[in-house]
Amino acid sequence: MTNYAYDKNGKLVQDGAAVWEVIFVEGLEYKKLISRDGKPLDAKAQAKEEKKMQQTAEERRKQRRAGLLHRTVAMSSTEEPLTFFDNRLMGEEDIRGRKAWVIESTPKAGHVPADQHEKEILSWSRKLWIDRTENFILKTLATVIGDHLLPMLPGTTFSFEYEKITDDAWLAVRQLDEVRMQFVKFIKPRGRSDYHYSKFHKFDVQSTITMDK
């Protein structure tokens, strides 16, 4: 991942880089820091990262025992894009040599949100690039257009690019975040984070389920 920041003249400058190994800890994704600014971690930093991972594992085990461990998603059902958005086929584009349909989704005009959840999902517009041959998503772009996602401001974007890694796996290979934030009235930082994912490993997991009497 490479971080960028905007200087006082609005110029984008690099502000650090890091490499993580993405693994699973207690069944959930975890990023373990491997190097920073092109240099491997020293022994002290490695020990700190190992301790942090063990603490995360223990915390997740406690949450699971308490029934608190869960994951959330931005849109809770597959029906919401059809219910709350106008979805239009905008044409075709070429994405890394593959032909793709381009679909744009924008909130339906005049729809009044019923609750906070609807206010949040209607604060986004979305764009999808779908592979014509295999019907998998090649790219997504989500843009903040509303005022119900503070501290994120309108203009913030999150983009993901996907590639076919194996015959049965399409995985994200890049994530580009362009973030505009507001923490107090006059503090509105901007930044960019560029993530690249590679060196994927396929592994098998065997699980045994036991139940208490």
Q: What is the pLDDT of residues 97-123, one digit of tens each?
A: 999 999 999 999 888 888 888 888 889
120 and 81 share one domain? yes
42 and 101 share one domain? no
β-pair type (157-166, 137-144): antiparallel
Percent of the chain at pLDDT exceeding 70: 86
Q: Which of the listed residues 34, 56, 71 is the one where a domain comes to its end?
A: 71
65 and 152 share one domain? no
pLDDT of residue 142: 93
Tokens of residue 104, six digits? 């744009």
78 and 47 share one domain? no
Percent of the chain at pLDDT exceeding 90: 35
Provide the residue range defining the domain that includes 173: 74-200
Task: Report if residue 121 sits inside a domain.
Answer: yes
Say which residues have a Cβ less than 8 Å from residue 71's Cβ, sequence separation at least 6.
28
**Of 23-37, 51-65, 130-144, 195-209, minimum mean pLDDT range:** 195-209
CA dist 194 and 19 (Å) reads 11
Task: Report if residue 56 sits inside a domain.
Answer: yes
Task: Report if residue 8 sits inside a domain.
Answer: no
Confidence bin at 75 (pLDDT 50/70/90)? very low
Task: Report if residue 85 sits inside a domain.
Answer: yes
Segment 35-57 mean pLDDT: 89
53 and 137 share one domain? no
133 and 158 share one domain? yes
Task: Report if residue 181 sits inside a domain.
Answer: yes
67 and 78 share one domain? no
Q: How many domains does the chain have?
A: 2
117 and 180 share one domain? yes
Average per-residue pLDDT for the chain: 83
